[in-house]
Amino acid sequence: MGQAHWIKKGTAMITLSCEEVRREISNYLDDDMSPRMRRLLEVHLEQCRKCAVLLDSTHNVLVLLADEHRFELPAGFSLRMRHMLAKEFEKAKS
C-alpha cells in the first residue's frame, strides 16, 4: 500500500496503509507533520474505524495520564533551592 491509486472521480490519491498511520500517530498528536501528511492521515481516519479508535484511545490515555499527574513541586523546593544558591553567592563574593 501507500502507492498512488485511482479513485472513482478520476483524481489521483495517495492512500496510507494502517501501518503508516500507526507510525504517524504520535506526530499527529503533536501536530508535527506536513499539512499534506495530515490530510492523508485524516482521510484514512475517516474511513478506517480501527485506526480512529487507536488514535482516540491513545489520546485519551495520555490525557488521563497528564490529568493524574498534575505534578506540584515538593513543598519548600524553591525555598531550599534559593537557600542553597544564597550560600553559593556568598562564596562567590568572597
Partner 1 sequence: MQNTLVRESENDRILEGERELIAEILAGNHERYYELIAPIERRVYYTAYAILRTEADAEEVSQEAILKAFRGLRTFRGESKFSSWLLSIVGNEARMRLRRRREVSLELLKSPDNEGEYTPIELAEWREIPVEALAQKELAARLEEALAALPEIYREVLILRDIDELNIAETSAALEITVPAVKTRLLRARLMVRDYFVSRSWARHTGLRKAQP
> Residue 35 phi/psi, 5° resolution?
-55, -35
Whose Cβ is closer to partner 1: residue 5's or residue 83's? Answer: 83
What's the rounded Cα separation, in Å, for the pair 94 and 86? 13
User: Considering only residues 11, 12, 93, 94, which one is a binding residue for partner 1 as defined by CB under 8 A?
Assistant: 93
3-state helix, strand, coil in the chain (%, to 5): 65, 5, 30
Cell of 73: 513541586
Interaction between residue 47 and partner 1 (CB under 8 A): no
User: Considering only residues 26, 39, 42, 47, which one is a binding residue for partner 1 as defined by CB under 8 A?
Assistant: 26
Per the DSSP assignment, residues forming a β-bridge with 12 are 6
Tell me which residues touch partner 1 (CB under 8 A): 19, 22-23, 25-27, 29-30, 32, 49-50, 53-54, 56-58, 60-62, 64-66, 68-69, 71, 73-74, 77-78, 80-82, 84-85, 88-89, 92-93
